[in-house]
Structure 1
């Protein structure tokens, strides 16, 4: 399941409402927001949360609110009046520090509760059992980390998730956005530090490989191009890679839809259908070093392999039998590692460099 964040530092504009609607049509199923961001004016949260809840209900989206301590009461709500929150569209509470386990257990009988996945211990689980929590309504939600160098280590994250899975939890993590980055640092909001400046979809697919069930965009927005890439993946199971072309003459052979071969190669993504097209003679040219992300066509010196299309997954040396015809743009290169056996992908000309 994929979700996104909407923050309440500003009134919910028509632009944001349109963004919520679009993210729903793309295939996102949940909204995350927070009631305890120090830079925000908590006095504005009451009306803004009602407005956000209305939009969530209208679009049939889950709404998770991050709270800690007295955040709810400062915003004009109460942990003792959960029906009021449910009425305005809130479906879950992520309970952070200063909320005791007996309160968490009580709330779990009325709505979904997200626990802090990074800090939950066996003692907490024992406590929740003692207080008769409804574990069917408990989830493990990791933090995002605004300050560079403080995001989680991937090995630690996977080990923690393995322990959480053994204890029956579904797990959530954040990846950065690439538009409307959250202040005051504007450095992305990832759970894993290595994702801080990486393509949001590539980061999301990587989190999915680390036992993560729910993946949310931490920042307040995705660019239109990235929204389109999420849409193609969620609706068509296709990864879209934007390329800068080097050899326009043969662009009709490499631009468009492809499938990775079922026998997945170590060094390259091989188009399963490239050599089944009508292929003209391809003379040797542009025999360049094949840096990661190079799109290549085998020329006639490769005999019956002429016309084979590949994307390099690692840096490879130049080969007189292989023409470099395009390069995947830098931002999209991390997506290459997620083109698995038999998977559909599309090579699309990068409009920004036309």
Structure 2
């Protein structure tokens, strides 16, 4: 599952949340540590958010303290008021007994601190007859640079948590509206702090076996929403690209639309399954046969015989080939997305000026 984060110290952007739901995000995370001088504002916001969650069939996990629960009219012994306003789960950290956690697990979803939970906790929760089907392990996000988790220890801990039967959640940073006061992103592991959020998400799932990925920061760009939407709902990778040939609409149209990476995936290139066998093209004259840097989008020309018309993306730097035309190049911002295209996965190019690719804004904009 994919989720996003919002913070109650500012007005909730429900248009953004609606777009995230449309993009395939199913969960919301927030914190309700209510300051002493702002009770009514925070309480009203969490109730309004809960109403939105219920109406849109989302989940709402909140990080709370005992003092906060009292202000909402609830307690760890009585969480019904939380359920009534749309909160579906609690993120539990220090200072809460395993007995309380076990009791809560029979009433709502519980997220434990993935980094600090240990063997003794699992054994005690089992003894206390906790409902483990409602318990997950959630990692923190780390606002301060150089304090994010080490990937080896992260992977090791996730393997242990899965062995205990727990699902695991981790955060990736946003790319648009970042949270202050540092504005340095909110990742779980340090290597993701400045990485493309979709690349980081896929890495969490494929390499670190994370079950749920949440955007830690409160905003991602409209383009990134579109990229997540295509990945989550259609298993398709959208790649921004810049054309390198002018006024050749036939060749540009040939690489427009949806492609599929061949199931017998090559080491050095992404090969379009449709380009030669289905999207037949009458003639491809030799042109722009320059060295193929990583991300080059190419079409084999007529000198390649039966391979003429094949569309490829280079995964590594390759030398010039007189039989291969370089038509466009994946933008630097999306270059790492090439590395997550799997065998049999769909992909599509986006060019700023169209040619059937769909107009976009290359910059990261507020949603």
Q: What's 2:220 paired with?
A: 222
Give a deviation string over 1:318-340, Cα, whole Å, max 9, x none: 32322221111122122211211
Contact in 2 for aligned 1:68/1:99 (Cα 8 Å)? no
Contact in 2 for aligned 1:42/1:75 (Cα 8 Å)? no
Q: What's 2:10 paired with?
A: 10
TM-score (norm 2): 0.89
Q: Distance in 2 between matches of 1:343 and 1:315?
A: 22
| Aligned counterparts, 1:156-171, within 5 A | 156-171=153-168
Of residues 139, 146, 149, the one that matches 1:142 is 139
Query: Cα offset for 1:117?
Result: 0.7
Q: What's 1:114 paired with?
A: 111
Q: Distance in 2 between matches of 1:204 and 1:233?
A: 11
Contact in 1 for aligned 2:242/2:329 (Cα 8 Å)? yes
Q: Distance in 2 between matches of 1:347 and 1:138?
A: 40
Contact in 1 for aligned 2:297/2:311 (Cα 8 Å)? yes
Secondary structure of 2:348's partner?
strand
Of residues 113, 121, 131, the one that matches 1:124 is 121
Q: What's 1:55 paired with?
A: 52
Give a deviation string over 1:139-159, Cα, whole Å, max 9, x none: 011111111222222222221
Q: What's 2:295 paired with?
A: 293
Q: Distance in 1 between matches of 2:265 and 2:21?
A: 33
Q: Distance in 2 between matches of 1:147 and 1:247?
A: 44
Q: Distance in 1 between matches of 2:319 and 2:51?
A: 56
Q: Distance in 1 between matches of 2:285 and 2:83?
A: 66
Tell me which moved more, 261-270 or 92-101: 92-101
Q: What is the total number of aligned residue pairs between the two structures?
A: 350
Q: What's 1:79 paired with?
A: 76
Give a deviation string over 1:37-88, Cα, whole Å, max 9, x none: 99x9677432221111111111111100013564534666422320000000
1:344 aligns with 2:351: no
Structure 2, unpaired ranges of 5+: 353-359
| Aligned counterparts, 1:214-293, within 5 A | 214-248=212-246, 249=248, 250-276=251-277, 277-293=279-295
Q: Distance in 2 between matches of 1:266 and 1:41?
A: 57
Of residues 187, 203, 214, the one that matches 1:190 is 187
Structure 1, unpaired ranges of 5+: none
Secondary structure of 1:273's partner?
helix
CA change 1:134–1:278 in 2 (3 A) is: closer
CA change 1:98–1:259 in 2 (3 A) is: same
Secondary structure of 2:291's partner?
coil
Query: Cα offset for 1:171?
Result: 1.0
CA change 1:267–1:42 in 2 (3 A) is: farther
Secondary structure of 1:282's partner?
coil
CA change 1:5–1:150 in 2 (3 A) is: same
Give a deviation string over 1:185-213, Cα, whole Å, max 9, x none: 11111112222122222221111112111
1:205 aligns with 2:206: no
CA change 1:69–1:121 in 2 (3 A) is: farther
Q: Distance in 2 between matches of 1:181 and 1:285?
A: 44
